[in-house]
Amino acid sequence: MDLKRPTLIAATLSTCGLLASTSQADVDKAIEYRQDALGVMAWQIGPLGDMAQGKIDYDAEEFRRRAENLAAVAHLPWEGFIEGSLQGDGHGVDTDALAEIADDREDFESRQQTLVEETAALAELAQEDDFAAMRRQVATVGETCKGCHDNYRAE
């Protein structure tokens, strides 16, 4: 299936009754869900970044808790990027998710997997007491976020 034209395909198949189970409301809910999940990620990573950059004091207990929370949710948002839910797809919710996601699903999914792995590595580092290593890993996680945003999120 040509993922570059999900809306047209969905519309065509829907006319045939083949995609009756994915409604406009389903697409809107999926967008809202992924925005919620990304919001939860942003909330967790915020203090980690602030501690890594020295904007707030390092607190081992909070660092560990945030790192664990981040690792626990890093796999969640992605199921919300369903067909017909990108910019220009004609749904009912504003989204920054660019149509380019559909051009290279493989790259998009590979980046998700990298984020899951890098946040897991951060949660593991947070169990020990090498703050320099934790700071480096926060930077790595941040670069993973940024790499995806640069390619697939509207500015």
Question: At 2, phi and psi to the nearest 5?
Answer: -80, 105
Q: List residues binding a copy of itself (CB under 8 A).
A: 29, 32-33, 35-37, 39-40, 43, 69, 72-73, 76
Q: Is 11 or 93 the residue whose CB approaches a copy of itself more closely?
A: 93
136 with 125: CB under 8 angstroms?
Answer: no
Binding-site positions read 145, 148-149
Q: How far is the CB of 63 from a copy of itself (least distance, A)?
A: 15
Residue 145 to residues 111, 115, 121, Cα–Cα distance (Å): 9, 7, 15
Kindly state the smallest distance separating residue 43's Cβ from a copy of itself, in Å.
4
Q: Which is nearer to a copy of itself, 37 or 102 (CB)?
A: 37
Quote the tokens at residue 25: 């409301």
